[in-house]
Chains A and B, each alone.
Chain A
Amino acid sequence: MSTRETNEAADRARRLQRVAELLAEAVEPQQVLDAILTEGVRAAEARAGAIGILSEDGKNVELLAARGYDAAVMHGWASFPLAAALPMSEVIRTGEPVFVANIEQRNRDYPDLAHQGQDSHALVVVPLAVEGRVFGAMSLSFDEDIEFEPERREMKMALARQAAQALARSRLYAAEQSMRERMTFLAEASELLGSSLDYNSTLRRVAQLSVPGLADWCAIDMVGPNGEIERLAVAHEDPEKVRWAYELQDRYPPDPDAPTGVPQVLRTGEPEFYPELPQELLEEAIADDDELRRIVEELGLKSSICVPLVARGRKLGALTLIAAEKHPAYTQADLDLAIELARRAAIAVDNARLFQEAERGANAARALAYVADGVVLLDDDNHVRHWNPAAAAITGVSEEEALGRPVGDVVSVWDALTSHVPLVAPGRAARTVTVPLVLAGRERWVAVSGVAFGQGTVFALQDVTDEHALEKTRSDFVATASHELRTPLAAVYGAVRTLRRQDVVLSEDDRTQFLEMIESEATRLARIVDQILLAGQLDADAVDVALSECDPAAVAAGVVESAELHLPENISIRLATDSAPRISCDESKLRQVLVNLVDNAVKYSPAGGSVELRVSNGDGACVIDVIDEGLGIPPDESDRIFEKFYRLDPQQTYGVGGSGLGLYICRELVERMDGRLRVESEPGHGSRFTLELPVQR
């Protein structure tokens, strides 16, 4: 070996060493490519170099980087078929290097290249392989024609091995890096999705999180309750652009029947992936709209991914990622990531909706469990589907006994209960009908309304027994008041008519009786009217009570004295006073109460007997008892007799007159004087009304 050759060999080894060092330092694929195409090309004494990589689908060769070629020469060589009769394709196919000494050889071996690069000289293409698998090739172009000797060939092969390893390592590193980034992103997105049940705001944040790492533009569309597509979020690094995007959307509303994009993805449930957005597609969208053309050009749309959000077979929405001004075109890995993100988002949305539904269900169940109205749901076959506790309480039939059975079996009188209830359509005002319900011997009044919807009927039952009773006592009161007014009116009217008779000469005694009758019956009329008015005032809280010092024994004596004046012959009255204390009360109201109580005692003693007023000194109170030997009061009615309009004998067959207001008025007045009024009684043996008024303080 000559000295020159020895020197050259040493020189090559040094250059290779240098390249190896550089490649070892390079981490990112771009750094590796730079090192190969600068130092590597220089080490090989080449003019230019290029690196091509087998595409993901294995059908094409994609030029990763080139250095030293004219831009004009490189145009159109970004990607070419693996099957092409080109040196790089051939090398990748065969795994064998190609050495071309000059242009004649090149044009002979590769006629496709014959028409270009006429000033070309020697060309070397070596395979890039790791562990026997060829993933690309490196080409080197020289300034001169070279017949490559074995050493130089070996040197090119060594350079290729180094480059291949470095490139593979860096690509692996980049893939790992990118994988880690994706995983990090997914983890972050998942955490976000799981952070809240407000999935709308969560999805907006996911969209925000996707830019600019995953996309230049990210949009999320959701399917609304009526199947309409609603844009939930648009994200871009620049908020100004987001505003612009929304304006754009207003100006060009999306067509729900569009054969591409979100509508198509939501129809098919399949992702739509454009690694490179086809120009035809954009042209079609632009049509002849110059403004739109300007906008689309400004957007610089490159590549897009649209994936559906699908959970439990239901399409909830779609996630769209667009690579435009910054983000590189999308790859299969990006699509996989988008699909995974969409899957997780869909699950989160579904979970949130299920939770909300469950919560709504639970709230509805709580409402139904505690509502005071009975709620009964019947299906098309009139089987009970829901029977809430209030329904159970009203009907006396438990939920367990009712559920799943025909309602007619559950409540035998159901038809009678509901046959008069007009069933209305949902949303219409329900018409309530009040009907009596006699079940297991209990009579209840139930207000029933029903709504018929597609799959059944829902009935609301309200126990209005108390209201009905009140209403009945009110109407009874009107009837009662009318009866009570009629009798004295008959006496007054009749007396006047009789006195004016000219065909009859009345005795002096009869005349006197008629005049007295007119006077007393008119007084009675006035009293009934007064009581009705007073009850009304008590209701309106419009009765003034003026408390002042008074002597209850004196008041009681006065009441007894005037009662004696028109007492039935079979009744006697007496007063017993026992060192009564002076009290603070409204004397006229106290008198009114005692007159009422004495009247009552007399009225409810139709068979006669004695009535006693007993005034005594109680514990810090003055106690006045009104005791009779009359009809008495059944124990279960002893509290009700103080209710307004309540009458011990609603049928009035005893003829005990009154407005049904006397005792109500008494208790109301006593309570307004800070006193208490109660009754003890034994039916058939009389009653004792006890009035307690606080001693003057």
Chain B
Amino acid sequence: MRAEVVHPVRSAPLHRPGRAVGRRKLWRCESGSSAPEPPESQGQRSGRVETSGARRVLVIDDERAIRLLCRVNLVASGIDVLEARDGREGLALARKERPDLVLLDVMMPEVDGWTVARELAADEETREIPVVFLTARAEAADKRLGEQLGGVGYLIKPFDPVTIGDYVEEVLARIDRGEREQLRRDISSGPAR
């Protein structure tokens, strides 16, 4: 059964799910604590779920709660999750693991999300990794910056974590269809997310 879209904050509609993609089956999630440790420990909270062939998403957020939400729900959609709890850790993990997509918070200590996006875009090795901002910054100027930094999506907190897996699948599918530029432009001019 599909979750209904809820709009608890009028000024910032929650993520609207795209068309249904991905596998629809019950998943028994492995909890974060029981997930195998990455070979090179990048931090106690980072982790990754090995499922060969599945998409891999890197969640960079200093808020443990947000990382937990993303992990549980993405894994439920059959997506592997990598976690980083700040910008520096996120950059290192992105370079090392080359995830299929990055869910990126903006307000983080020391190295913020804007910097992470800038550095990912500046590095040939990571340039192609799509970045979706997941942030509490809801102003138009912030969205424009996200667009300028090459993001492919812009989710404003609070967001609906239940549909996050579908959303990621849809973004990746559209990128596969060559709609990356359209996704970027939609950040500030497209339908509100």
Binding site for B on A (CB under 8 A): 479, 482-484, 486-495, 497-498, 501-507, 509-510, 513-514, 517, 521, 569, 606-607, 652-657
B interface residue numbers (CB < 8 A to A): 1, 3, 6, 8-9, 12, 24, 26-34, 44, 62-63, 65-66, 68-69, 72-73, 76, 86, 105-110, 112, 114-115, 136-139, 156-162
Of all chain B residues, the one with the shortest Cβ separation from A488 is: B65
Q: Are B3 and A493 in contact (CB under 8 A)?
A: no
**In the assembled complex, which residues on chain B have CB atoms less than 8 Å from the CB atom of A654?**
107-110, 112
The reply to whether B138 and A655 contact each other, CB–CB distance below 8 Å, is no
Is the CB–CB distance between A510 and B161 below 8 Å? no
Are B65 and A495 closer than 8 Å at their CB atoms?
Answer: yes
> Could you list 11 A-B pairs, sorted by A, with CB under 8 Å?
A486-B138, A487-B63, A487-B66, A494-B69, A498-B72, A504-B29, A569-B44, A653-B108, A653-B114, A654-B107, A655-B112
Interface of chain A: mostly helix, strand, loop or mixed: helix
Is chain B's interface secondary structure helix, strand, loop, or mixed overall?
Answer: loop
Instruction: Establish whether residues B158 and A493, one from each chain, have CB atoms under 8 Å apart when the complex forms.
Output: yes
Measured between C-beta atoms, what is the minimum distance from A245 to chain B in Å? 78
A503 CB contacts on chain B under 8 angstroms: 1, 24, 26-27, 76
Q: A224 to B73, alpha carbons, bound, how many Å?
A: 89
A495 and B8 alpha carbons, distance in the complex (Å): 14
What is the minimal beta-carbon distance from A510 to any residue of chain B, in angstroms? Answer: 5
**Contact A653 B138, CB 8 Å, known A504-B29, A507-B29, A514-B68:** no
Q: 10 tightest A-B contacts by CB?
A: A490-B157, A486-B136, A606-B109, A490-B158, A491-B65, A653-B112, A494-B69, A504-B76, A655-B107, A483-B136
Across-interface contacts of A656 in B (CB, < 8 A):
109
Q: By the criterion CB–CB under 8 Å, are B28 and A505 in contact?
A: yes
| Closest chain B CB from A215 CB (angstroms) | 84
- Measured between beta carbons, the chain B residues less than 8 angstroms from A497 are 3, 6, 160-162
Task: Please tell me which one of the listed residues B68, B86, B105, B115 contacts residue A517 in the complex, with CB atoms under 8 A apart.
Answer: B68
Q: Which partner residue on chain A sits nearest B111 by CB separation?
A: A653
Indicate if the CB atoms of A498 and B109 lie closer than 8 Å: no
Given A486-B138, A498-B73, A503-B1, CB of A493 within 8 Å of CB of B8 = yes
Q: Which residue of B lies closest to A603 (CB)?
A: B109
Interchain nearest-CB distance for A495 vs B (Å): 7
Contacts of A505 in B (CB 8 A): 26-29
In the complex, what residues of B have CB within 8 A of residue A492's CB?
Answer: 158
Chain B contacts of A510 at CB under 8 A?
29, 31-32, 68, 72
Q: B65 near A521 (CB under 8 angstroms)?
A: yes
Please, which residues of chain A bring their CB within 8 A of the CB of B136?
482-484, 486-487, 490
Known contacts A486-B138, A503-B26, A510-B72; decide if A655 and B108 are in contact (CB<8 Å): yes
Q: Closest Cβ of chain A: how far from B114's Cβ, in Å?
A: 7
Q: Which of chain A's residues have a CB closer than 8 A to the CB of B65?
A: 488, 490-491, 494-495, 517, 521
Known A501-B76, A501-B162, A653-B112; judge A489-B107 contact (CB<8 A). Answer: no
Q: How far is the CA of A127 from the CA of B63 in the complex (A)?
A: 133
Q: Output the nearest chain A residue to B160 by Cβ-Cβ distance.
A: A497
Report how far A490 CA is from B12 CA in the complex, Å.
12
Please report the C-alpha to C-alpha distance between residue A509 and residue B109 in the assembled complex, in whole angstroms. 28
Residues of A within 8 A of B66 (CB): 487, 490-491, 494
With a cutoff of 8 Å between Cβ atoms, the chain A residues found around residue B73 in the complex are: 498, 501, 504
A506-B157 in contact given A486-B138, A489-B9, A654-B110 (Cβ < 8 Å): no
A487, B106: Cα distance in complex, Å: 12
Give the residue name and chain of the B residue nearest to A652 (CB).
B107
Nearest chain B CB to A541's CB is how many angstroms away? 32
* Chain B residues in 8 Å Cβ range of A489: 8-9, 157-158
List residues of chain B with CB within 8 A of the CB of A486.
9, 12, 136, 138, 156-158
Residues in B with CB closer than 8 Å to A495 are 65, 69
Please determine whether B161 and A504 come into contact, CB atoms closer than 8 angstroms: no
Using Cβ atoms and an 8 Å threshold, which residues of chain A touch B62? 655
CB distance from A473 to the nearest CB of B (A): 16
Contacts of A484 in B (CB 8 A): 136
A13: shortest Cβ distance to chain B, in Å? 129
List A contacts of B105 (CB < 8 A). 655
Contact A483 B31 (CB under 8 A): no
How close is A632's CB to chain B, nearest CB, in angstroms? 14
Chain A nearest CB from B22 CB (Å) reads: 12
Contact A506 B29, beta carbon cutoff 8 Å:
yes
Q: Chain B residues with Cβ under 8 A from A493's Cβ?
A: 6, 8, 158, 160
Q: Which residues of B contact A488 (CB under 8 A)?
A: 65
A491 in contact with B31 (CB, 8 Å) = no
Q: Which residues of A contact B44 (CB under 8 A)?
A: 569
Q: Which residue of A lies closest to B113 (CB)?
A: A653
Q: A486-B157, A509-B31 are in contact. Are A504 and B63 (CB under 8 A)?
A: no
Extra contacts, 12 of them, besides A497-B162, A521-B65, A654-B112 (Cβ < 8 A), are: A479-B139, A482-B136, A483-B137, A486-B156, A490-B69, A494-B66, A501-B76, A507-B29, A507-B30, A510-B29, A510-B32, A607-B110
Q: Which residue of A lies closest to B157 (CB)?
A: A490
Alpha-carbon distance A488/B161, docked complex (angstroms): 14
CA distance A654 to B63 in the complex (A): 13
